[in-house]
């Protein structure tokens, strides 16, 4: 078999850390059979997904299958993230969950939240226009932002305001009058048979198949059909018309481009500051804006351009992002293979992700989570290190046992501590450590005699390094 160059594997490792949840050397070598461009194409145009499967979740963690509550919905999603063979689909689902943040305090129903996640999964790589339209009709979002209270004779501005401020254009690119006109266009977009649905959705008697979900309904008699003026356009607009106007704006393209750069390339300042602080790479944002319009607002097209760009592939772009808690935890669960089948022990794992600062289905506000360096503080860092140490140090986990076996076969009795550290880093997916971190890990290895204990300890220590927290 032709040897794949380490440099290519290192680039693929960078790609899979960003477009997925990381990969071992063995997995990277499978990707390396194809060109980098072909791997990108496979990621952005995924096939039908294979994952652990609902039949196993229903058998071994029934509450997660029934999605009676938000934790059950989140656990089902975690199983899918760690076992899916279309990682970018799941990564984009996580991306949109952070932007279109919707949570249990108002929505309550786990099935409804899970349906929204499914919608992000199915349409998150398509046209932004289509995604926004589906979001506007999504029962979880309607309840979250009170559009069931938005009537032609009494408008509620919550959805209209957040659509413009947080979901598409950003602060400073619209007026208060635009918000009002936007809200009017979405009057009548509501939940069907509300009273009945609210009662039925709370019944646990639907076990083991879970609660039923709300559904969207348009009430033409409650829709404001008067002429509206929105962002300089005049017409008898409905919600579809508003979304078309929004998605054709350059400000929207820039907003989405900056989000993609922030999530996949390098940490930006928090979103509320974007109106005041310029992007860290304005040229890259301009290129992504062009890709947005060149591909007819297609997210997969933008990502294809991004992953193939020099600014993404540059070595200077590596380890420039703090992994979010869910991303961090899922990567470790995937690597360790702690859950080769579902198990109720996923409940404490789900809670641990929340303690790190990201409880899925429960964002702190409509703004979602503040990401980047704000993910890490004294408390959350301890939780992250403990989580990594626990999974990486458990040799009963199939992935960890296999990793240690592979390293043990690759080294010799004459291997230096530095060489053992290098081999562990290679098998973990061509990871890199700073000289200080590498020296500290090698010093530990130098003090342990038995090979297996040495390798296990090195892997655990790598999981505690600063670099391991970065993507």
Per-residue pLDDT of the chain (471 residues; tens, 9 = 90+): 456 799 999 999 999 999 999 999 999 999 999 999 999 999 999 988 999 999 999 899 988 887 768 899 999 999 999 999 999 999 999 999 999 999 998 888 888 899 999 999 999 999 999 999 999 999 999 999 999 999 999 999 999 999 999 999 999 999 999 999 999 999 999 998 666 665 655 554 444 455 667 889 999 999 999 999 999 999 999 999 999 999 999 999 999 999 999 999 999 998 888 989 999 999 999 999 999 999 999 999 999 999 999 999 999 999 999 999 999 999 999 999 999 999 999 999 999 999 999 999 999 999 999 898 999 999 999 999 999 999 999 999 999 999 999 999 999 988 999 999 999 999 999 999 999 999 999 999 999 889 999 999 999 999 999 999 999
98/223 same-domain check:
yes
In 219-323, the DSSP E strands lie at 228-230, 233-235
Q: Is 9 helix (H, G, I), strand (E, B) or coil?
A: helix
From CA 286, how far away is CA 277, in angstroms rounded? 16
Distance of CA 167 to the CA centre of its chain: 16
6 is a domain residue: no
389/459 same-domain check:
yes
96/217 same-domain check:
yes
Provide the 8-state DSSP code for 234: E
From CA 105, how far away is CA 278, in angstroms rounded? 34
Could you tell me the two tokens for 173?
């690119």
Q: Which domain holds residue 351?
A: 325-469
119/231 same-domain check:
yes
305/333 same-domain check:
no
Output the furthest CA–CA distance in the chain (Å, rounded). 82
From CA 76, how far away is CA 420, in angstroms rounded? 37
Answer positive or negative: Cα dihedral of 266, 268, 270, 275: negative
152/286 same-domain check:
yes
Start-end of H helices in 309-462: 310-313, 325-336, 346-355, 378-392, 398-410, 417-427, 435-446, 451-462
Helix (H) / strand (E) element for 94: namely helix 87-99
Provide the 8-state DSSP code for 272: G
- The residue from 300, 317, 334 where one domain ends is 317
99/71 same-domain check:
yes
357/303 same-domain check:
no
For residue 26, what pLDDT is reported? Answer: 95
> Per the omega criterion (within 30 degrees of 0), is the bond before 115 cis?
no
438/392 same-domain check:
yes
| Location of structure tokens 């690759």 | 410
Could you tell me the two tokens for 47?
């096939």
SS (H, E, C) 160-219: HHHHHHCCCCCCCCCCHHHHHHHHHHCCCEEECCHHHHHHHHCCHHHCCCCCCCCCEEEC
106 is a domain residue: yes
For residue 206, what pLDDT is reported? Answer: 47
7 is a domain residue: no
19 is a domain residue: no
| Location of structure tokens 């266009």 | 185
Answer for the pair 73, 39: CB distance below 8 angstroms, yes or no. Answer: no
211/192 same-domain check:
yes
| Angle ∠(8,14,20) on CA atoms, nearest 5 | 120
Count of domains for the chain? 2
Measured torsion, CA atoms of residues 357, 361, 363, 364, in degrees rounded to the nearest 10: -90
- The residue from 254, 282, 317 where one domain ends is 317
Strand partners, 470: 322
- The residue from 284, 301, 317 where one domain ends is 317
Distance of CA 329 to the CA centre of its chain: 12
From CA 449, how far away is CA 131, in angstroms rounded? 56
From CA 436, how far away is CA 346, in angstroms rounded? 35
From CA 10, how far away is CA 25, in angstroms rounded? 10
| Angle ∠(422,311,314) on CA atoms, nearest 5 | 25
From CA 161, how far away is CA 366, in angstroms rounded? 11
SS (H, E, C) 314-355: CHHHCCCCECCHHHHHHHHHHHHCCCCCCCCCHHHHHHHHHH
435 is a domain residue: yes
From CA 319, how far away is CA 467, in angstroms rounded? 7
For residue 108, what pLDDT is reported? Answer: 83
138 is a domain residue: yes
23 is a domain residue: no
Name the pairing type of β-strands 228-230 and 216-218: unpaired
329/395 same-domain check:
yes
265/135 same-domain check:
yes
From CA 78, how far away is CA 84, in angstroms rounded? 10
Could you tell me the two tokens for 436?
């200080």
For residue 63, what pLDDT is reported? Answer: 84
Q: Is 410 helix (H, G, I), strand (E, B) or coil?
A: helix
384 is a domain residue: yes
Answer for the pair 198, 143: CB distance below 8 angstroms, yes or no. Answer: no
Answer for the pair 82, 21: CB distance below 8 angstroms, yes or no. Answer: yes
DSSP 110-166: HHHHHHHHHHHHHHTTSBHHHHHHHHHT-HHHHHHTTGGG-BTTB---HHHHHHHHT
């Amino acid at each position: 078999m032709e040897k794949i160059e380490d440099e290519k594997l290192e680039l693929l490792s960078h790609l899979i850390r960003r477009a997925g949840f990381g990969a071992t050397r063995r997995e990277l070598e499978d990707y390396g059979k194809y060109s980098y461009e072909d791997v990108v194409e496979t990621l952005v145009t995924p096939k039908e997904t294979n994952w652990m499967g609902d039949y196993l979740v229903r058998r071994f963690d029934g509450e997660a299958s029934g999605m009676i509550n938000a934790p059950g919905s989140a656990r089902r999603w975690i199983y899918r993230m760690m076992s899916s063979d279309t990682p970018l689909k799941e990564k984009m689902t996580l991306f949109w969950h952070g932007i279109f943040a919707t949570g249990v305090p108002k929505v309550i129903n786990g099935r409804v939240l899970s349906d929204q996640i499914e919608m992000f999964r199915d349409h998150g790589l398509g046209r932004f226009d289509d995604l926004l339209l589906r979001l506007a009709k999504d029962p979880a979002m309607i309840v979250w932002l009170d559009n069931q209270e938005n009537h032609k004779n009494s408008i509620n501005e919550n959805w209209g305001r957040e659509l413009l401020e947080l979901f598409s254009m950003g602060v400073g690119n619209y007026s208060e009058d635009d918000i009002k006109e936007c809200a009017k266009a979405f009057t009548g977009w509501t939940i069907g048979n509300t009273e009945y649905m609210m009662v039925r959705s709370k019944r646990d008697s639907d076990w083991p198949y879970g609660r039923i979900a709300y559904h969207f309904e348009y009430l033409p008699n409650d829709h404001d059909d008067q002429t509206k003026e929105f962002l300089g356009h005049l017409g008898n607009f409905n919600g579809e018309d508003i979304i078309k106007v929004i998605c054709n704006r350059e400000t929207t393209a820039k907003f989405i481009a900056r989000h993609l750069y922030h999530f996949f390339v390098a940490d930006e300042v928090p979103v509320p500051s974007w109106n005041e602080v310029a992007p860290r790479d304005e040229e890259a944002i301009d290129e992504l804006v062009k890709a947005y319009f060149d591909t007819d607002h297609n997210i997969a097209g933008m990502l294809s351009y991004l992953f193939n760009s020099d600014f993404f592939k540059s070595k200077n772009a590596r380890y420039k992002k703090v992994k979010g808690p869910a991303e961090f935890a899922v990567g470790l669960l995937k690597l360790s293979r702690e859950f080769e089948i579902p198990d109720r022990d996923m409940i404490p794992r789900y809670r641990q992700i929340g303690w790190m600062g990201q409880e899925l289905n429960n964002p702190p506000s409509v703004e979602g989570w503040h990401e980047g360096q704000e993910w890490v503080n004294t408390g959350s860092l301890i939780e992250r290190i403990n989580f990594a140490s626990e999974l990486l140090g458990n040799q009963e986990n199939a992935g960890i046992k296999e990793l240690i076996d592979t390293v043990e076969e690759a080294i010799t009795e004459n291997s230096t501590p530095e060489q053992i550290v290098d081999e562990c880093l290679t098998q973990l997916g061509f990871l890199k450590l700073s000289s200080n971190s590498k020296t500290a890990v090698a010093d530990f290895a130098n003090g342990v005699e038995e090979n297996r204990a040495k390798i296990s300890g090195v892997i655990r220590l790598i999981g505690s390094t600063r670099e391991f927290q970065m993507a």
